[in-house]
Structure 1
Amino acid sequence: MAGRYFDEWQVGDTITHAITRTVTETDNLLMSTLTHNPQPLHLDHEAAKDTEFGKPLVNSCFTFSLIVGVSVGDTTLGTLIANLGYDEVKFPAPVFVGDTLTCETEVLNVRESKSRPTAGIVTWEHRAKNQDGKTVCTFKRSALLKKFDA
């Protein structure tokens, strides 16, 4: 199993995820249209020319979702019962088409489930950086995970 069981996590564990991803125009277009987001800042090169960025920004929902997806193989694949929540989602720098993102995950908290003796809750902070080393997204994720022998 690629993901880790609850018992295998400790506060401070940090993973640098091997998967990196260069964001494409199609990624941005699909996320924006599939979610019915008509924001010109994501879709209209002419409108975006007049912004402080001078070009379209990648839809932040794509950036967030990409980071979650990249982390799954190393964190919860096959061991997840449920994601419990995402907190403190921040986008300190923009993402543009052509940026290559790398991600890392750090364990912030590990605790037994009060209602499920065969499970525990892990809280991570996920961080993504672009090719220039600028942090483009951070957030906390809490998940209910299976215990190894459960």
Structure 2
Amino acid sequence: MYNGTSAKDYFNHTGEYASDSEVTDIIPDRLHLDALQVGQVFHSHEYYVSADEIRAFSSKYDPQPFHMDDELAKDSIFNGLTASGWLTVSITMNLLVKSLPLAQGIIGTGVEKINWHRPTRPGDRLRISATITEITRSPARPDRAGVSIHISTIGQDNKIRQELVGNLLILRAKDPSATC
């Protein structure tokens, strides 16, 4: 699920991105700080976005007509039903958790930017490509580092729906030879 060598597992024999049913389930090792490096890329499976999910999320968190009503959405700037950008962010997080196997979990310390390049629509199949762009080790706490990650959320048409730059806190593995 990560690095250039395993990235090929996510492409079918024609070089196109594979759907969930074509990808073998691989359970990667849990990663600590020392296993990460700048430039490392993580890819996810696809996630299908349904109209029902768009409406349910929006009715609870972003109740705007172009997210909830097909007819009203046709007369909006989007010319049809679209997902809330916050649903796209939530799907991105779901895919990141499943494709970036951090031993201590994904601990966010902030988001530098979120850009929505085009709307997510019913029937879209989203996937992510997440690249580590910076690792800053803490001089005061050598057991941890800040890690910047650039995440592109991509549709089945290979067009980017969203880009996000996030900051994570990553921990080193505990030294098994150390005593308490």
Asked if these proteins are the same fold (TM beyond 0.5), I'd say yes
Which residue in the other structure is 1:62 paired with?
87
2:59 aligned to 33, 47, 66, which one?
Answer: 33
The answer to which structure has the higher strand fraction is 1
Which residue in the other structure is 2:153 paired with?
128
8 Å CA contact retained: 2:146, 2:167: yes
Give identity over the alignment, percent: 23
Is 2:49 the counterpart of 1:23? Answer: yes
Structure of larger gyration radius: 2
Alpha-carbon spacing, 1:77–1:10, altered in 2? closer, same or farther (3 Å) = closer
Q: For residues 13 and 138 of structure 1, what CA distance do their matches in structure 2 show?
A: 17
Q: Which TM-score applies when normalising by structure 1?
A: 0.88
Q: For residues 58 and 125 of structure 2, what CA distance do their matches in structure 1 show?
A: 19
Q: Mean alpha-carbon deviation: is it higher for 138-147 or for 67-76? A: 67-76
Is 2:144 the counterpart of 1:119? Answer: yes
8 Å CA contact retained: 1:125, 1:140: yes
Is 2:32 the counterpart of 1:14? Answer: no
> Residues 75-103 of structure 1, C-alpha deviation per residue, up to 9 Å, x if partnerless?
25432373101121001111100011111
Is 2:110 the counterpart of 1:85? Answer: yes
Q: For residues 3 and 34 of structure 1, what CA distance do their matches in structure 2 show?
A: 34
Gaps in structure 1 of 5+ consecutive residues: none
Larger RCO (alpha carbons 8 Å, 6+ apart): 1
Alpha-carbon spacing, 1:125–1:53, altered in 2? closer, same or farther (3 Å) = same
Which residue in the other structure is 2:167 paired with?
142
8 Å CA contact retained: 1:76, 1:145: no
Runs of 4+ with deviation above 4 angstroms: none
Q: Mean alpha-carbon deviation: is it higher for 45-54 or for 135-144? A: 45-54
